[in-house]
Structure 1
Amino acid sequence: MIKMFIESFKNMFQKPDTIKYPFEPSPPPKGRYRGTILYEESLCIFCDKCENVCPPGAILFEIVDYETNKREYNYNPYLCIYCGACVDECPKADEGCLVQDDTTTPVLGRELPKDKKLGYLVNRVENPKELEKAWDELEKRAKKSREEYAEFKKQQRLKKQREKKAAEAKKKAEEQKENTSSTNTENKPS
């Protein structure tokens, strides 16, 4: 009890260990900080691992060109829980494709943050109040684009199979024609 009284008395004359948060900004955290996810499109191989592993579904790829498999990365920083699972899963994270920055996303207020590294959706939406609606529409479009891409790939496979069968049939017909003509030549009287 006496030790506690002595410690309390000492603390009355020391500088407080707490921060003056509302009036002064908090000091930056030490060590590995989990902040906003930033994306570098030129390094992406579009493996979709980040999208598949994201617990809240804050990352979506929308297929915009079926021929080249061109996709658009979309990230919702206000849906993200900053767990870092996407960065851990990304095979190109070491090269800087997907990184977790040491800054937080600003509060959803009058305007949305505009940065190419946040993806396409956040940069297209002007009014923050429309972000949720735009994200819902994007989810539907992304699902539809995947279904259409799967159908496109199926049609491509079927087309290749038909071309292969046609080539085989043509080759077989040519071989039969050669066999027939060589047989006719052998059977001709000299």
Structure 2
Amino acid sequence: MNPRGRAPGSAIFANLPARVTLPLAALSVAWASVAIDLPDLDTIRRWIIRIIELIVLGGIGLAVVISLAFIGAWVLSHLRQPKAEDQPRITWMSHAALWSSFVPVALTAVAAGGMFVPVLKPLMLKVFAYAVATAGVSWLVCIAALIVGGGKPELSRVRRGLLLAGTPFYCLAVWLSRFL
């Protein structure tokens, strides 16, 4: 170490102008990349594109699986038999299930409106996240109403609510698939 606290040889590069050190640094990086056998930028770009495609495919797969869960619950809801006419029914539960499913549909419509209305564009992701969260809550309300049961009109409302609650996931699968 010299009196200034620098290692020997570091003063050589400190005294060189930038027009000399920049090409020297580029040359040393080029030599190192040849010695290490790093891929060229086109190969790295292809790798990044492939990684993005795999992420998109995973997102589509997840959206399709959740969409199928909503549709599967709707299909399985047809196994539920309506209660007899003389049995007491809880009608408010089926109404809550149907009306709670309109919330994710409306939020999905607002999020989709962000593609066409510039004012809504910054809110698209947040509104869509709310749509997904409310779809989950609506699905739980629909399943609870399905377990409680009821007559034909009540079960019909619950089934319609199950299909409508899946709207954010149906739209997400379609939106993500356009990136493939």
Task: Mark yes or no: TM-score above 0.5.
Answer: no
TM-score by length of 2: 0.30
When the two structures are superposed, what TM-score results if normalisation uses the length of structure 1? Answer: 0.28
Larger radius of gyration: 1
Q: Which has the higher helix share?
A: 2
More strand by share: 1
Greater relative contact order (CA < 8 Å, ≥ 6 in sequence): 2
